[in-house]
């Protein structure tokens, strides 16, 4: 086997670079921290190039499914249309009104992608109800106590709990739309009234 | 898992969310098929799919794919956030055997409630070693335990020194 195809090489590289990132958390060496940050920047560049791999694999896969009219080919056709369309809209050609930050690009992001994400996140409530109905059974005393305490915690965090009993309320207030680290990009995203809560 | 699926003639699907992982996933799955002596059964583009880097783009694609293929087993081990329950519940509706494991403590309850078998926290690292009895993997677990022991010792020493009013340990770690 050629030396560059040996399994040990990626394992060693992974171990070295992981340690390189991990040690600055425990040992303060400014030069080391700077080098670790540079590696993170390199990773960002690698991920950008990896986008081409993802684009190509999606084109190959869904193009084949759609062209062969296999089961569910219309979904593949839709993926191709949206993927290629949004990619073309994102190409930076200001003269044509294309590119990141342009009206069309932002309109799709704010009025299509963000509400879709919000809808998916909101559907979690139904998934939780379905899982709870199936899984929550008070078969033992301990399970019953856990169920009761969980019910009280949920009521305390919902307005209906305070409406039922005014003294039942959570002490802390959570602002689900803000996080401590806000930059311009996320500020524009979260300032939209349609933005969903942060992923959790 | 790829090797076992290849041996049994079961179709393996690997959804990928991070693009840099896709070539690694292909390599791992292909190696499994080659070890089982069935490299011709492996189709990297069809079986190892990059779905989406977006959280809910990934989960919606995953759910649709699982539903269409009527997956018999769903193994979810790794980093999961809100999509954990969506994926687990979809599998439950299909009647899939599910194994879920994550180190994200906020999602563990969902896996425990919705999956047939749940791996909590560090168990996800132990499961592979325990099942395969591979000496290297067991050795890596022992090494991790040594690291944890070192961390515990440092914490205890730090507590003692700081309580005694000494910052020598801080200085040593900040040279």
DSSP secondary structure, B48-61, as one string: EEE--SSHHHHHHH
Which residues make Cβ contacts (< 8 Å) with residue B26, sequence separation at least 6?
A: B44, B48
Do residues B140 and B108 both lie within one domain?
no
Residue B167's CB: how many other CB atoms inside 10 A? Answer: 11
For chain A, the C-alpha Rg in angstroms (whole number) is: 25
Instruction: Test B175 with A27 for CB contact under 8 angstroms.
Output: yes
Residues B15 and B69 in one domain: yes
Q: What is the dihedral of CA B59, B96, B93, B22, to 10 degrees?
A: 10
Please check whether residue A168 lies inside any domain of the structure.
no
Asked, for residue A164, whether it belongs to a domain, the answer is no
Contact between residue B76 and residue B87 where contact means Cβ atoms under 8 Å apart: yes
Domains identified in chain B, total number: 2
Which of B84, B79, B45 is CA-nearest to residue B63? B84
- For residues A134 and B91, is the Cβ–Cβ distance under 8 A? no
Token match 């799955």: residue? B29
In chain B, residues with a C-beta closer than 8 Å to the C-beta of A199 are 55, 81-82
The domain of A8 spans 1-90
Assess if residue A22 is contained within a domain: yes
Classified as helix, coil or strand, B13 is coil
CA distance B122 to chain A (A): 18
Numbered residues of chain A with Cβ closer than 8 Å to any chain B Cβ: 26-29, 43, 46-47, 50-51, 53-54, 57-58, 60-61, 64, 71-72, 75, 113, 116-117, 120-121, 123-124, 127-128, 130-132, 134-136, 199-200
Q: Do B18 and B73 fall into the same domain?
A: yes
**Mind listing the pLDDT tens digit for each residue in A71-89?**
889 999 999 999 999 999 9
Residue A194: pLDDT band with limits 50, 70, 90? very low
Q: B64 and B141 share a domain? A: no
A54, A60, A132 member nearest B19 (Cβ)? A54
pLDDT tens, residue by residue, A42-66: 888 888 888 888 899 899 999 999 9
**Are residue B141 and residue B63 in the same domain, yes or no?**
no
Q: Scanning the structure block, which residue is given the tokens 């070693």?
A: B129
Q: What is the mean pLDDT of chain A?
A: 80
Q: Looking at the structure, do residues B97 and B50 belong to the same domain, yes or no?
A: yes
B64 touches chain A (CB under 8 A): yes
Question: Is residue A195 over pLDDT 60?
Answer: no
The conformation of residue B21, written as its DSSP 8-state character, comes to G
Residue-averaged pLDDT of chain B: 90
pLDDT over 60 at B73, yes or no: yes
> The tokens 């079961």 sit on which residue?
B10
Lowest mean pLDDT among A11-20, B37-46, B89-98: A11-20
Q: Is the same domain home to B69 and B57?
A: yes
- pLDDT recorded at residue A145: 87
B79/B155 same-domain check: no
- Cα–Cα distances in angstroms (integers) from residue B6 to residues A178, B21, B107, in the given order: 47, 21, 31
Counting residues of chain B whose pLDDT is more than 70, the rounded percentage is: 99
Q: Which residue has the tokens 């049994």?
A: B8
- CA A5 from centre of chain: 33
* Cα→Cα distances A12→A9, A39, B20, Å: 5, 16, 18
Percent of chain B at pLDDT above 90? 53
Tens-digit pLDDT profile for residues B28-63: 999 999 999 989 999 988 899 999 888 999 999 999
| DSSP 8-state code for residue A109 | I
If we measure between CA atoms, which residue out of B16, B44, B19 comes closest to residue B29? B44
Annotate B75-109 with DSSP letters as a single string.
Answer: EEES---THHHHHHHHHHHHT-EEEEEES-TTTHH
What total of structural domains would you count in chain A?
1
Of A43-52, A59-68, A165-174, B151-160, give the lowest mean pLDDT range: A165-174
CA distance B168 to B174: 10
- Measured from the Cβ of residue A124, the count of other Cβ atoms closer than 10 Å reads 20
pLDDT of residue B85 exceeding 80: yes
Residue B29 shares a structural domain with residue B53: yes
Q: Is A97 helix (H, G, I), strand (E, B) or coil?
A: coil
All residues of chain B having their beta carbon less than 8 Å from the beta carbon of residue A131 are 85, 88-89, 92, 110, 113-114
The C-alpha atoms of residue B38 and residue B31 are separated, in whole angstroms, by 10
Residues B111 and B161 in one domain: no
Together in a domain, B82 and B159: no
Q: Which residues pair with B14 in a beta bridge?
A: B48
Q: Which domain holds residue B92?
A: 2-133
Q: Output the domain CATH number for residue B78.
A: 3.40.50
Strands B14-16 and B73-77: unpaired
The complex's ipTM? 0.71
């Amino acid at each position: 086997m050629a030396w560059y195809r040996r399994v040990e090489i990626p394992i060693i590289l992974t171990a070295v670079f992981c340690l390189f990132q991990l040690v600055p958390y425990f040992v303060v060496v400014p030069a080391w921290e700077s080098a670790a940050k540079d590696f993170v920047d390199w990773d960002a560049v690698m991920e950008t190039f990896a986008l081409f791999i993802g684009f190509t694999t999606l084109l190959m896969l869904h193009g084949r499914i759609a062209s062969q009219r296999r089961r569910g080919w219309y979904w593949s056709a839709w993926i191709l249309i949206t993927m290629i369309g949004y990619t073309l809209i994102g190409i930076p050609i200001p003269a044509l009104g294309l590119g990141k930050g342009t009206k069309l690009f932002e309109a799709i992001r704010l009025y299509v992608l963000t509400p879709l994400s919000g809808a998916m996140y909101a559907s979690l409530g139904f998934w939780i109800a379905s899982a709870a109905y199936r899984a929550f059974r008070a078969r033992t005393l301990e399970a019953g106590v856990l169920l009761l305490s969980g019910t009280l915690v949920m009521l305390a965090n919902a307005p209906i709990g305070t409406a039922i009993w005014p003294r039942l309320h959570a002490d802390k207030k959570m602002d689900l739309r803000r996080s401590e680290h806000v930059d311009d990009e996320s500020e524009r995203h979260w300032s939209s009234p349609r933005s969903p809560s942060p992923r959790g | 898992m790829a090797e076992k699926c290849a041996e049994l003639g079961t179709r393996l699907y690997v959804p990928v969310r991070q693009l840099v992982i896709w070539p690694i996933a292909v390599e791992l799955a292909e190696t499994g098929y080659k070890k089982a002596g069935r490299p011709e059964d492996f189709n990297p583009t069809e079986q190892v799919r990059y779905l989406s880097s977006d959280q809910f783009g990934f989960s919606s694609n995953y759910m649709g794919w699982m539903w269409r293929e009527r997956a018999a087993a769903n193994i979810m081990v790794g980093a999961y956030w809100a999509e954990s329950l969506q994926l687990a519940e979809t599998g439950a509706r299909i009647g899939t055997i599910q194994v879920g494991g994550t180190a994200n403590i906020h999602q563990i309850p969902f896996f425990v409630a919705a999956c047939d078998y749940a791996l909590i926290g560090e168990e996800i690292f132990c499961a592979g070693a325990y099942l395969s009895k591979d000496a290297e993997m067991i050795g890596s677990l022992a090494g991790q335990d040594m690291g944890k022991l070192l961390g515990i010792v440092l914490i205890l020493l730090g507590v003692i020194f700081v309580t005694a009013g000494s910052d020598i340990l801080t200085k040593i770690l900040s040279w």
